[in-house]
Structure 1
């Protein structure tokens, strides 16, 4: 591959090192500072971010992460002295990012003090919850959004309503400590419920329930200790972290960020309802104050799940490949929303890619981690179509690398791939 004359610094003609498959998933970062604060299964590890920098964007000073999740890329980049502009449409995840930023930006002496307060709270949390009244507003929000659905046993639900009261009291006196307590509860709320995160969130089976449900108060107390220890272990955030806009589809309306590149993993086109999967966290964080709030959040997100499909979506086909794919899905899909979901996904991602190109410098490199999918026996080569959309809007497709093999619900083989695009003209 020839060097781009505009900027030799971002050349892509050096030998490639392979990255371990585990680092392309959330599990690859287990034990790292900040990483275990919240179990974001769709995320990647810090090593993935560093690998993208070394292999594709060496010398970068500014990076965009349009689907930040719990902030792995922004936090890692800032720790390396690189500025990061990010987007994240889920307010519960933005809360996790804000908590990490707040700790990472503290001087060491102040982190020691925060650690002491966290350890003291861990010791006293059970006593505080036992003495606290239930939060009636949180109860009302539950009823408005979940109706008669039962997601917790009686004791856990009572503890959650009480800990929200404690959380608010602490937050008024010590906002950072209150934020870190919220993160601890959100981190444990699913595993201490009647639900289980296994891809999508579902009810636990009788066999799974027989193993016992972890005690919420004890789990939160232990998690406060994890965060406390990370206060000292985590790196200083030298670079800046800036929320450009919550919704990546609105990046095009932001002032140009002039990034040197992009490191991201967009939602996979796999039918996952990302907001439903975090409905308990959103509820506890008071982000579901209005009835049907989950629907309003899904309307903002990339169309990647069947329930994301609105009446007006899926009517536009961004290129002929998508048109042919949608026609084939219409013949084979078990749900007619699937073809519209696929068309809507690529329509949304075209908007995002155009916005990312606008916000990158000439010769900027876009590193996109994505998986393909399969519906009704029809293969949806998401990585190939996104690469083609990139070329359609004027980006250069540098390469696509298979990161690991995945398995679909019908047991056929799928892949997780890295698409590398490059901005070659303004």
Structure 2
């Protein structure tokens, strides 16, 4: 208990340095805005039910609160489904993003690119025709090289779904933009029609109280509804503002962005929770042909942030944070479910510190950086990412305006027992920084 209490005071001492706002406070402004599920019925955002993300409304709130010049570039180093770039474009800013996952990058580009009236009508004509033809053709198709491909669908649904995808891909009369919209609608129906669902760090087989039978007609109706939603959004809403999205790691930001070229930065990095997003999105990656073999998958994992155990964990970074080193030292005596976890954590924060340094470099004078981040715990030791990043940000050239705690993370009963003293630090927060030099 002595050790836990000592650690508790370490966290408290760090918190005292900052303006902290908690969910129960009347000053909490982002709590209701953090939830991405609120966005899932909005135009463009409803095109795909992205597992992670935050609402465009929260991005707009942060821009209104922190942007001094009311124009310029808004950067998202981890653009995911494109919420930051969508919101920035809607407000007339130029959005710039980085995304290493090719499926997520594809999703964002589909939502962000403008579509002419002619392309919109070509899209409508194409999906109506293809959904009919897929019922009539007996064309051969090839499943992707994913080991579970043959178990993803009921056989009749598989035949209809794969033939529809093949017709979209081989129609030479379609523009690239139209073909991409067709592919996105197709991929958005992939999981709902399959035997699998996203759960935790991967996929699980769906279980039902009563047997569930999915038919080719169900597949056709689901695809048709998805395409009609996309068509309606294209018809009723036009994209504003310019966006630029790089399919690359934000750790390579220095290759693309000049010093003092950015007004504001808003992002949510992968949390240090061992979730491998190439595993969570493997159906989309394989069926969408973003990876063609397991070598591609391995290369993609090695390019991603060190937030999971499946990438290259061989680098040996130098210590950069006193509090991080103290927590890692404490972890040495704890029983962990994988011995590589301390190395992963060290590399995760090395990556995040680099992102903070680069963020400071590209921000203009008085620019802002807002980070939506979740803390993690291993062996009963809480790693408060919000406090660690705030403290490092101060040493990099930022002033910490505030840290708003927006919700607490529910843990397993076993982890709860281990973190009784420090459980209040298991949370998601918005860390708001202002460049001060």
**Normalization by structure 2: what TM-score?**
0.84
1:303 aligned counterpart, secondary structure: coil
Partner residue in 2 for 1:226: 229
Question: CA shift at 1:273, angstroms?
Answer: 0.8
Q: 1:206 to 1:80 in 2, by over 3 A?
A: closer
Partner residue in 2 for 1:288: 291
Partner residue in 1 for 2:131: 126
Partner residue in 2 for 1:3: none
Q: 1:180 to 1:172 in 2, by over 3 A?
A: same
Partner residue in 2 for 1:262: 265
Q: Determine if contact 1:276/1:294 at 8 Å carries over to the other structure.
A: no
Partner residue in 2 for 1:242: 244
Aligned residues: CA RMSD: 2.5
Partner residue in 2 for 1:274: 277
Does residue 141 of structure 2 align to residue 135 of structure 1? yes
Structure with the bigger RCO (C-alpha within 8 Å, sep 6+) is 2
Question: CA shift at 1:45, angstroms?
Answer: 1.2
Question: CA shift at 1:229, angstroms?
Answer: 0.7
1:191 aligned counterpart, secondary structure: helix
Partner residue in 2 for 1:47: 57
Q: Determine if contact 1:125/1:217 at 8 Å carries over to the other structure.
A: no
Q: Determine if contact 1:74/1:241 at 8 Å carries over to the other structure.
A: yes
Q: 1:328 to 1:119 in 2, by over 3 A?
A: same
Partner residue in 2 for 1:5: none
Partner residue in 2 for 1:420: 432
Question: CA shift at 1:63, angstroms?
Answer: 1.0
Could you tell me how far apart the structure 2 residues matched to 1:339 and 1:208 are? 41
Does residue 46 of structure 2 align to residue 36 of structure 1? yes
Q: Determine if contact 2:202/2:276 at 8 Å carries over to the other structure.
A: no
Unaligned runs of 5+ in 2: 1-18, 20-25, 417-422
Could you tell me how far apart the structure 2 residues matched to 1:242 and 1:148 are? 34
Unaligned runs of 5+ in 1: 1-11
**Normalization by structure 1: what TM-score?**
0.86
Q: Determine if contact 1:19/1:48 at 8 Å carries over to the other structure.
A: no
Q: Deviations over 1:78-132 (max 9, x none)?
A: 1211011110111111111221222xx34xxx33x44444444443333222316
Question: CA shift at 1:203, angstroms?
Answer: 1.8
Partner residue in 2 for 1:347: 350
Partner residue in 1 for 2:110: 99
Question: CA shift at 1:393, angstroms?
Answer: 1.9
Count, aligned residues:
398
Q: Determine if contact 2:409/2:427 at 8 Å carries over to the other structure.
A: yes
Q: 1:162 to 1:209 in 2, by over 3 A?
A: farther
Could you tell me how far apart the structure 1 residues matched to 2:347 and 2:392 are? 14
Question: CA shift at 1:205, angstroms?
Answer: 4.3
2:139 aligned counterpart, secondary structure: coil
Partner residue in 2 for 1:74: 85
Could you tell me how far apart the structure 1 residues matched to 2:347 and 2:325 are? 11
Q: Determine if contact 1:125/1:221 at 8 Å carries over to the other structure.
A: no
Could you tell me how far apart the structure 2 residues matched to 1:212 and 1:327 are? 53
Q: 1:77 to 1:302 in 2, by over 3 A?
A: same
